Structure 1
Amino acid sequence: MADYELFQTYEADFQIAYEEAQEKLNQIRDLDGEPRKSAMKAVERATDECYEIIDQMSIEVQNISSSERSSFNSKIRSYRSSVEKQKIQLKKLMDDEDRRILFGSSPQFDYNNNDPNYSQRQSLLRANASLERSSDRLRDSQRIGAETENIGAGILNDLRGQREQIINSRNTLMDADGYVDKSIRTLRKMTRRMATNKMITYAIIAVLIILIFLVLLSKFW
């Protein structure tokens, strides 16, 4: 039951990311300039998040019974197909934006096969778009690397603090062990003294009994 609940949680997260990407896609057509670029990047981030959530769902499905796994896999395939469609729409919008930036919006450019420079322009456009996306991915990788480094530093600090706590606990246990040994030795000494005192007490009682017998015997003699 817990596996189903976790899968449903991933589904809810996926729906949020997918709807956010779809909403931004619908807004891009009405935007221009920097807001348009920001919306495209937002769609790209949301799409990447969708893929990550789908990967998490694929892992979680392995914990579900094989008799019910097929229906969940079908859901995952449907989600992945929807994200792929979003990705294709985003790529088309990005290509249009790159074309507009590269050639401008002037009608003097005829983007058709009758233009003798069409192939060269298209190749240049694709190379420029690919370079820009690679630069964005590189910046994202650097950002993720910096975040990972910060997380690693935090984990190291936590481990260092836990190590100090373990050392302190070990020292405390060693001190406690020393106190226990001392207590055991003290108890043994007290036990031996009690045994000695008992023997002395029994000896005194025996002497008193002998003296009493001697006094009684002296009266009859």
Structure 2
Amino acid sequence: MSEVFEGYERQYCELSENLSRKCTSAGALNGEQKKQKVADIKSGIDEAESLIRKMDLEARSLQPNVKAVLLVKLRGYKSDLNNLKGEVKRIVSGNLNPAARDELLESGMADAITASADQRTRLMMSTERLGKTGDRVKESRRTMLETEELGVSILQDLHSQRQSLLHAHNTLHGVDENVGKSKRILTSMARRMSRNKWIIGSIVAVLVIAIGLILYFKLSN
């Protein structure tokens, strides 16, 4: 549940009760005092309408499940405000004569006050249900945060493992390069050894032939 909405709600409930008391007292006044009281009540009604608009904007910015509950609750506040406006109209129209005013106070205002009391009872019940819904939303939000933290931890572990694999891959790549270089060096050495063998073999062959020729000429003489 939104703390901002609750703040506006408390202000509205206090203002609504204050306006109801002013309406009751204004019905028994006459002349200039009544006009001043009515003007004061109308100013309070304007403030109440402003609070309702703020609550409406705040409710519509919340999650759908909380928004639906708050809007139902807000309709009750709007109905309560309309009752207050009706009381003000009846008070203003009560200037006709004392008998009409007394009848207005006994019937119209009594009905309005009763309706307002019933409305506030329903609003209190709605507030209680909303509080339970808010607790469930908080619990869901807490579970969601825990799940998000677990997901972040898993992602961090995966990132660490990925870095280890990349490091191992780079190490293996370096080993492959060293093995390739060693292979090329060994191949070059094998070629040189083979060439040296042919050279030594050729020299030995030449020496054998030379020795053979020398022995042949010596034995012939």
- Pick the structure with more helix per residue: 2
Please classify the TM superposition score into its range, dividing by the shorter chain length.
0.3 to 0.5
The structure number with the bigger radius of gyration is: 2
With normalisation by structure 1, the TM-score equals 0.45
Higher relative contact order (CA 8 A, sep 6+): 2
